[in-house]
């Protein structure tokens, strides 16, 4: 397994190494549509998006959540992940440069496991938050 | 108007296989390049029995049904008036390439907000593997603007 991060060595307030993404492209969204199985045209067909009254296509919410998942599993091995929740608060647009951040906000012992809660969010260059949520991770 | 009578409604379970090629394509799509997520040998060297499915992947297999938006239409939701409001996962066991997963969905909660102009619908999907072990629960929340 990857890094063996230990519960006792993690402090509330500790930040995770952020994940900085390249600007979102239409190719990114087309690839994610095919790979994820979410073929909703609102994410890949600008004609459909305009007919729905939007200026352009926008990114799948779950693509951003998958980026947050990359950040989390780079910090602790994936089998340690117990729970992962987000709210979608704003749409992610083509051309935006998204950054994922995480911070340890809580440490608890529950059901014989030592768990940390990590608050996570994605935001654009202007700091506009797109997704916000948390993850529970078990540490040895 | 989406009614609270929907709560408790269940949908026929269906099954899907986690394919290694699909996992590699998914990894590419989300920019995941670490060897343990794209290379079987590296995955095994890292202690996995096969390529691991990244954390959100189980929600994708839940889209594999021929008509993934049927449950919304059955609930008389206009998909054009709907937004994905929240998503949650609980994990009980890892998922790897080669696993055969079964998805069983039910409507867990229907809540009206803002004087009934917004309706939040929570669908909970229990995911089990070929050994009958519970591997995940997927919670999808959509919000519908009432006309």
**Same domain? B24 vs B80:** no
Give the pLDDT confidence of A98-107 residue by residue, as tens digits: 999 999 999 9
Q: Which residues of B touch A78 (CB under 8 A)?
A: 52, 54-55, 94
- Among A31, A35, A78, the residue with its CB nearest the CB of B55 is A78
Under DSSP, is residue A72 helix (H, G, I), strand (E, B) or coil?
Answer: helix
Is pLDDT at A4 greater than 80 in this prediction?
Answer: no
pTM of the complete model: 0.95
Nearest-CA distance B81 → chain A (Å): 10
Chain A residue with the nearest C-alpha to that of B139: A85
Which residue segment(s) compose the domain that B40 sits in?
20-52
- Span B121-133, average pLDDT: 96
Contact B55 A82 (CB under 8 A): no
pLDDT on residue B62: 78
Quote the ipTM score.
Answer: 0.95
Confidence of residue B5 (pLDDT cuts 50, 70, 90): confident
Query: What fold does the segment set A7-25+59-138 form as a domain?
Result: Thiol Ester Dehydrase; Chain A (3.10.129)
More confident residue, B22 or B75: B22
- pLDDT for res A35: 96
Structural tokens at position A111: 């059901």
Pair (B88, B124) in one structural domain: yes
**Domains of chain B: total:** 2
Q: Which residue of B has its CA nearest to A53?
A: B80
Residues B27, B11 share a domain: no
Burial class, B70, CB count within 10 angstroms (exposed 0-12 / middle 13-18 / buried 19+)? exposed
Q: Using the beta-carbon criterion (under 8 Å), do B30 and A81 form an inter-chain contact?
A: no
Q: For residue B133, what are its two tokens? A: 């072990």
Domain containing residue B122: CATH number: 3.10.129.10
Span A82-97, mean pLDDT?
98
**Given a cut of 90, is residue B147 above it in pLDDT?**
no
Count of pairs with CB atoms under 8 A, one residue in A, one in B = 98
Whether B74 and B61 share a structural domain: yes
Mean pLDDT for all residues in chain A:
95
């Amino acid at each position: 397994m990857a890094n063996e991060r230990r519960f006792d060595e993690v402090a509330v307030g500790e930040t995770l190494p952020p994940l900085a993404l390249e600007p979102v492209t239409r190719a990114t969204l087309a690839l994610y549509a095919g790979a994820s199985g979410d073929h909703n045209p609102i994410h890949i067909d600008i004609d459909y998006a305009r007919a729905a009254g939007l200026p352009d296509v926008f990114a799948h919410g779950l693509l951003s959540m998958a980026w947050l998942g990359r950040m989390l599993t780079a910090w602790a091995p994936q089998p340690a992940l117990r729970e992962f929740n987000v709210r979608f608060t704003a749409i992610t647009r083509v051309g935006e440069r998204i950054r994922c951040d995480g911070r340890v906000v809580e440490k608890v012992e529950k059901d014989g496991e030592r768990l940390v809660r990590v608050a996570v969010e994605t935001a654009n260059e202007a700091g506009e938050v797109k997704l916000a949520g948390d993850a529970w991770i078990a540490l040895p | 108007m989406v009614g609270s009578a929907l709560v408790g409604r269940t949908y026929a379970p269906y099954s899907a296989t986690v394919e290694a090629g699909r996992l590699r394509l998914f990894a590419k799509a989300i920019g995941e390049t670490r060897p343990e997520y794209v290379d079987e040998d590296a995955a095994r060297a890292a202690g996995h029995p096969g390529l691991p499915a990244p954390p959100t992947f189980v929600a994708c297999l839940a889209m594999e049904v021929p008509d993934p938006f049927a449950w919304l239409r059955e609930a008389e939701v206009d998909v054009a008036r709907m937004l994905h409001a929240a998503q949650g996962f609980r994990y009980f066991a890892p998922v790897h390439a080669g696993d055969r997963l079964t998805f069983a969905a039910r409507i867990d909660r229907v809540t009206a907000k803002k004087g009934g102009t917004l309706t939040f619908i929570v669908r909970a999907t229990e995911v089990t593997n070929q050994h009958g072990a519970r591997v995940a629960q997927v919670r999808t929340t959509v919000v519908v603007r009432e006309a």
